[in-house]
Amino acid sequence: MEEGDEELVAAVRDGSERAFNVLVDRHQQSVRTFLRGITSWDDADDIAQETFLAVWTHARSFRGGHVRAWLFSIAWRKAKGAQRSWFRRRRRDSDYHDSASSPACEIGTEDRLAVRQALAALPLAQRAALVLSLGCGLTHPETAEALGLPLGTVKSHIARGRERVRVALGEPS
Amino acid sequence: MRNADHRITTALQQDAPPAGDPAFRLQVLERRERQRFRRHALISMAAAVITAIVMVVLAVSGGRMYTAGSVVLFAVVLLTASAYLPVFGRLIRRFSL
């Protein structure tokens, strides 16, 4: 029988390598999708790795609740920290060709690029709420838990972000 | 609105990494081991430096600070051992000692 996420975190807390591997395999896709939606592709994988490292070292800080939301909350804090980091900003600016070489562009369509551009124009918190809700399938309360924001704020972020993206994509209301 | 939602969801899903990505897991594990190695190396180096300083002080003082030196050395040994405790724990669990 498949182990639940909470059991896995408890095992990671006790130093289980196997549980850690299962946790990484199970959640890497959604965590990386979230981070790819709010940062650059290179930063996304870097921050996702840092997120899982934090899970290994700080598994004790898990106080129950949704493991997925907890993982996203770590990723969100690290993504915000990375935005502030001068070193990362500098690397991002100097590696402007990254976006051109990312798989998104190799197999991308105009529509996809338009959506990405529309998302990129949103404030970070709005973008994160929208990506978690629409891209990772989190419910509004889970999104609020992950971002550490009140439920009402998250709902308004999603509504405003959605409206701005809709306008940017030229869709009728 | 639904169409915009669909476009966003589709775009994000198309950009998603594969569900099973052993390379990513290996990168995480490699990074974790490097971090652990750096921490252990730092602790060991700090312990070695403190031990050397204590030995020099003991030698210079002609054994007058023997008790204080012993306490410091004992604390260093305890701190170093505590850093390696998780490793011992894992070894014990692995071999069910």
Give per-residue pLDDT as tens, A63-83: 888 899 999 999 999 999 888
Decide if B15 and A15 are in contact by the 8 Å CB cutoff: no
**Confidence label for A104 from pLDDT (cuts 50, 70 and 90):** very low
Distance CA A62, CA A71 (A): 10
Residue A92 has pLDDT above 90, yes or no: no
Q: Is the pLDDT of residue A97 over 50?
A: no
User: Which of chain B's residues have a Cβ under 8 Å away from the Cβ of A135?
Assistant: 8-9, 12-13, 16
Hey, what's the torsion of the CAs at B33, B35, B36, B41, to 10 degrees? 120
- Inter-chain residue contact A45 with B31, CB threshold 8 Å: no
Q: In this structure, what token pair is assigned to residue A24?
A: 């990484």
pLDDT at A20 over 80: yes
Contacts of A116 in chain B (CB under 8 A): 11, 15
- CB under 8 Å to A153, separation ≥6 — which residues? A144
Mutation to test the A interface, candidates B2, B25, B35, most A Cβ within 10 Å: B25
B5, A166 Cβ separation under 8 angstroms: no
Residue B73 has pLDDT above 80, yes or no: yes
pLDDT in tens, B6-41: 888 888 888 888 888 899 999 999 999 999 899 889
Mutate to test the interface with B, among A16, A38, A50, A56 (most CBs of B within 10 A): A56
Write out pLDDT tens, residues A59-68: 888 888 889 9
- ipTM surpasses 0.85: no
Distance, CA of A145 to CA of A10 (rounded, Å): 20
Could you tell me the two tokens for A49? 């790795």
Nearest chain B residue to A167, by CA: B4
pLDDT for the residue numbered A106: 42
3-state secondary structure of A29: helix
Helices (H) and strands (E) in chain B, counts: 3, 0
Q: Any CB–CB contact under 8 A between B33 and chain A?
A: no
pLDDT tens column, A123-159: 999 999 999 998 888 999 999 999 999 999 999 999 9
Residue A95 has pLDDT above 90, yes or no: no
pLDDT averaged over chain A? 84
Contacts of B13 in chain A (CB under 8 A): 33, 135
**CA distances (Å), origin A118, targets A65, A114, A158, A159, B69:** 33, 6, 14, 14, 65
* Interface A:B, Cβ pairs < 8 A: 91
The number of residues in chain B equals 97
